[in-house]
Amino acid sequence: MKFLLLIALLLSSVVARAENLCPVNEDVAPDMRIAESDLTKERAEKAVEKVQGIVSGADSKYEWITVPNSLKIIEGYILKRDALNAEGVMAQYHKSQFCEFMKTQAWWYD
């Protein structure tokens, strides 16, 4: 019984984290919209590596949109992380900052 309760708690926390923190910006076409699920630590780390490679000159395979799109992933991930981890008085502030980003900047350059 305790095992089933533990499984249920773990699943509910995963589902809660999978839900969006902010409303989806329907003004941006679905194929141009950055989804909250795109803003992961792994993608942010890859974006940092890509930008570092471009800046250092080690990576010459990129288009003009690579840097601004990478920076959006990095910024969005940091804002999302802070919104998910903030507690107390700061929780609402960080969530509002993240939702403002999702409303005004969460779209891809194409």
Does the structure show a pLDDT above 80 at 14?
no
12 pLDDT band, cuts 50/70/90, is very low
Q: For tokens 């839900």, name the residue.
A: 19
- Residue 35 located in a structural domain: yes
- Residue 109 located in a structural domain: no
- Residue 110 located in a structural domain: no
Please return the burial class of 47, using the count of CB atoms within 10 Å of its CB with bins 0-12, 13-18 and 19+. buried
Q: Residues 49-104: pLDDT tens digits?
A: 999 999 999 998 989 999 999 999 999 999 999 999 999 999 999 999 999 999 99
Structure tokens at 39: 């803003």
Q: Considering its fold, how many domains does the chain have in total?
A: 1
Mean pLDDT on 5-21: 53
- Are 33 and 24 in contact by the 8 Å Cβ rule? The answer is yes
- Residue 90 located in a structural domain: yes
Residue (of 75, 65, 79) closest to 108 by Cα position = 65
- Are 102 and 33 in contact by the 8 Å Cβ rule? The answer is no
Q: With residue 46 as reference, give the H or E element that holds it.
A: helix 41-56
Say which DSSP state 20 is in. Answer: -
Query: Which pLDDT does position 18 carry in this prediction?
Result: 59
Q: Which residues contact 61 (CB under 8 A, 6 or more apart)?
A: none
User: Domain range for residue 34?
Assistant: 2-104
